[in-house]
């Protein structure tokens, strides 16, 4: 039975190690497909999972199976895909070669195109979309810190995969509108690039009205594109997506009070794109702003601010010197 077989995390970076570790801490059988550096780190230090509420879980290396070899998929009941979007095709080939035909594949990746890429390469296997609302920071020495709040959403299915994966401290909700949820998260993730360009923690950036206005203007472009494409984004908070640009433009005190009721953010939380620039890695800008720009071109919608932001991120990638530490005015150009 699928329920009796291990959950395998495909591409265990920050999100994958946190999600897999929380499942293992709740007694699930978990295996991680990891890079050599991460495997060595966990074998030496174990896995320490810390949360913005102050809670923590400590696991020894023996509480999870760790491997660099995709043959680790051979007995998987569920595969959680957490690789970067650019690596989706490659990991799909590994899953196709090694995982059982009845394994359930769940994409917990940024962007909106990964499920289609997985299904294209995995034939008739069951592939579900997912959305992870929170950020995780790799702190080193086996510590992974969740720095923002929220529950994971997984596409609704007859077998209640979301319910089977939900554990204490890592709630997963079944969603019948998962495509809209993914687009809603993508619109929020447009701020990843601004966070990276600012070199500021998310909480400090969102406390500044100038940065929020810039985010609001970029979000307004994205929402206009989705409207032209007849896509309805679904918010993962009680606040409707259509209200977000207006709320972002509010004075600091009013916005801070609203944010505090809907989301918790660690003072040192950073975006994954900031982490990519900091470590000299290629970002996922092509799968975030890039996806919206492609949709804008098909629907003849102008997105000048978004194009400017993509150009700046590409410039930072090419320079390899980390975040650019720009001001909102510099980004607007």
Reported residue count of the chain is 333
H or E element in which residue 314 lies = helix 304-319
Q: What is the distance of C-alpha 50 from the center of its chain? A: 18
pLDDT the model gives residue 3: 67
For residue 6, which of 103, 81, 86 has the smallest C-alpha distance?
103
Four-residue CA torsion sign, 65, 67, 69, 70: positive
The conformational region for residue 249 under phi > 0 = left, psi -120 to 50 = alpha, else beta, is alpha
- Chain-wide mean pLDDT for the chain? 95
Domains in the chain and their CATH numbers? Answer: 2-176 (3.40.50.720), 182-332 (1.10.1040.10)
Q: 301-333 pLDDT, tens per residue?
A: 999 999 999 999 999 999 999 999 999 999 999
Percent of the chain residues topping a pLDDT of 70: 99
Please give the backbone phi and psi of residue 262, each rounded to the nearest 5 degrees, phi first: -115, -20
Q: 246-270 pLDDT, tens per residue?
A: 999 999 999 988 887 778 899 889 9
CA 78, CA 30: separation in Å to the nearest integer? 10
Helix (H, G, I), strand (E, B) or coil at 31: strand
pLDDT the model gives residue 237: 78
Mean pLDDT of 215-241: 94
- State the distance between the two ends of the chain, measured CA to CA, in whole angstroms: 57
Model-level pTM?
0.93
């Amino acid at each position: 039975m699928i329920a009796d077989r291990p959950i395998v995390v495909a591409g265990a970076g920050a999100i994958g190690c946190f999600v897999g570790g929380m499942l293992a801490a709740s007694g699930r059988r978990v295996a991680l497909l990891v890079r050599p550096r991460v495997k060595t780190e966990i074998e030496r230090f174990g896995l320490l999972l810390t949360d913005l509420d102050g809670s923590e879980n400590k696991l020894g290396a023996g509480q999870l199976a760790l491997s660099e070899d995709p043959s680790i998929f051979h007995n998987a009941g569920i595969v959680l895909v957490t690789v970067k979007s650019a690596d989706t095709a490659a990991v799909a080939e590994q899953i196709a070669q090694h995982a059982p035909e009845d394994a359930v594949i769940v994409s917990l990746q940024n962007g909106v195109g990964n499920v289609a890429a997985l299904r294209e390469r995995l034939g008739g296997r069951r592939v579900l979309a997912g959305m992870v609302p929170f950020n995780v920071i790799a702190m080193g020495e086996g510590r992974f810190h969740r720095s923002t709040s929220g529950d994971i959403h997984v596409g609704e299915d007859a077998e209640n995969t979301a319910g089977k994966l939900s554990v204490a401290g890592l709630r997963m909700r079944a969603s019948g509108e998962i495509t809209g949820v993914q687009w809603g998260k993508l619109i929020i993730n447009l701020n990843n690039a601004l966070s990276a360009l600012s070199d500021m923690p998310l909480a400090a950036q969102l406390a500044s009205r100038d940065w929020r206005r810039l985010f609001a203007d970029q979000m307004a472009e994205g929402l206009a594109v989705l409207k032209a494409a007849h896509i309805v984004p679904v918010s993962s908070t009680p606040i409707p997506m259509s209200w977000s640009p207006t709320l972002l433009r509010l004075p600091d005190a009013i916005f801070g009070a609203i944010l505090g009721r809907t989301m918790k953010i660690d003072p040192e939380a950073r975006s994954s794109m900031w982490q990519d620039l900091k470590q000299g890695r290629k970002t996922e800008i092509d799968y975030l702003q890039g996806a919206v720009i492609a949709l804008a071109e098909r629907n003849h919608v102008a997105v000048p601010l978004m194009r400017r932001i993509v150009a700046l991120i590409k410039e930072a990638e090419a320079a390899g010197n980390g975040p650019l530490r720009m001001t909102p005015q510099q980004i607007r150009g």
